[in-house]
Amino acid sequence: MKSFLPIVLATAVTLLDAVSAAGFYSCASNSTAFQLTNATYSPDPLIPGQEACMTIEGNLTQPINNGSTVVITASIFGITLYNTTTDLCNSLQSISNSTTQCPIQPTNGTIKECVKVPSGIPSGISVDIRAEAKDAQGNELFCLVGPLTFGSSS
């Protein structure tokens, strides 16, 4: 069974730049390598125990090379519940279930990922997600902050 991490990662990795989508916004200090054109997830709010799908459309303007990383942090009320650093290329390849290898060349595209939301998540909470990606030289590729809201399963 797929874990819930891909829906969090899909949200965090791809809801980028200055466009606000589903409550997400850029925390980047400069223009970034990805410009979001559309982002949706359903159901909204996410329902524990049910499938959730995220669709992202956007424009990658710079290559993503080997050595790029993304730091994903999830918190509630300012308390960090989850913090991990992963290889950005591997994460993007996992999300899109493709055989794409780094470097990932500039392109326009769509990613859709569906996973089952764990049933143990309490309803009515909002988890703040922050994702910051950098290339191997430490240059910012993107940064975003936004909520994932969970509704009732009944």
User: What three-state secondary structure class fits 93?
Assistant: helix
What one-letter code names the amino acid at 59?
N
The CA–CA distances, whole Å, from 32 to 50, 58, 135 equal 33, 12, 11
The C-alpha atoms of residue 136 and residue 31 are separated, in whole angstroms, by 18
pLDDT at residue 38, rounded to an integer: 67
| Joined tokens for residue 9 | 């990662």
Nearest to 74 by CA among 11, 25, 124: 11
Q: What is the pLDDT of residues 36-86, one digit of tens each?
A: 666 677 888 888 888 888 777 778 888 889 999 989 888 988 899 889 898
The C-alpha atoms of residue 3 and residue 45 are separated, in whole angstroms, by 18
Q: What is the pLDDT of residues 93-119, one digit of tens each?
A: 777 556 667 888 888 877 777 878 888
Q: Is the pLDDT of residue 4 over 60?
A: no
Task: Quickly state the pLDDT bin for 6 (edges 50, 70, 90).
Answer: very low
- Sorted by where each starts, the structural domains of the chain and their CATH numbers stand as 5-149 (2.70.220.10)
The C-alpha atoms of residue 92 and residue 95 are separated, in whole angstroms, by 5
Match 């308390």 to its residue by tokens.
Answer: 79
pLDDT at residue 68, rounded to an integer: 92
What's the DSSP call for residue 63?
-
